[in-house]
Amino acid sequence: MVRIRLRRIGLKGQPTYRIVAADKEAPRDGRFLEILGVYNPRTNPATIKLNEDRIYHWMKNGAQPTESAAQVLKSAGTLERFERFKKGEAVETLVQEAAAAEVKRAAPAKTRN
C-alpha cells in the first residue's frame, strides 16, 4: 500500500519535511516513490509547497495520507479540492486555484509600526 507521508530533512533541531509517496513498509527517511511537495514548519506562517496534480494522481490510485500529512494537506486546502476532483471538476481549474491560494499564503503579513 502506498502512503503519502512526511520525510524529515534538515539539520539537527531544524526540521524541514518533504511530502512523499512511499510504500507503507519503507522506513520514514528511506526509499520513496516520488516527491510531492515540501513543508517547513519553522517559518511563520509555515511554508507549504505542493505538486497538487501528482497528489491527486496518487490519491486517485489509492494512496492514503498519514495523519500528519493529512493535517498539512488540510491546512493547504488540498483535501477539499480533492473531494471536488472526485466529483468531476477539472484538474487544471483546481491546480490554478491551489496556486492562487499558495501565493496568498506566502504573502508576508503586514506589521504595525
Is pTM beyond 0.85? Reply is no
And the C-alpha cell for 53? 496534480
User: From first to last of its 113 residues, what are the pLDDT tens digits of the chain?
Assistant: 899 999 999 899 899 999 999 998 888 888 889 999 999 999 888 889 999 889 999 998 989 999 999 999 999 888 888 888 888 888 888 888 888 888 877 776 555 55
Residue pair 3/64 in contact (Cβ under 8 Å)? The answer is yes
**Residue 8: exposed, middle, or buried by beta-carbon count in 10 A (0-12, 13-18, 19+)?**
exposed
Residues 6 or more apart whose CB falls under 8 angstroms from that of 13 comprise none
Cα separation, 108 vs 112, in Å, equals 13
Residue pair 102/81 in contact (Cβ under 8 Å)? The answer is no
**Residue 69: exposed, middle, or buried by beta-carbon count in 10 A (0-12, 13-18, 19+)?**
buried
Residue pair 17/9 in contact (Cβ under 8 Å)? The answer is yes
pLDDT of residue 70: 93
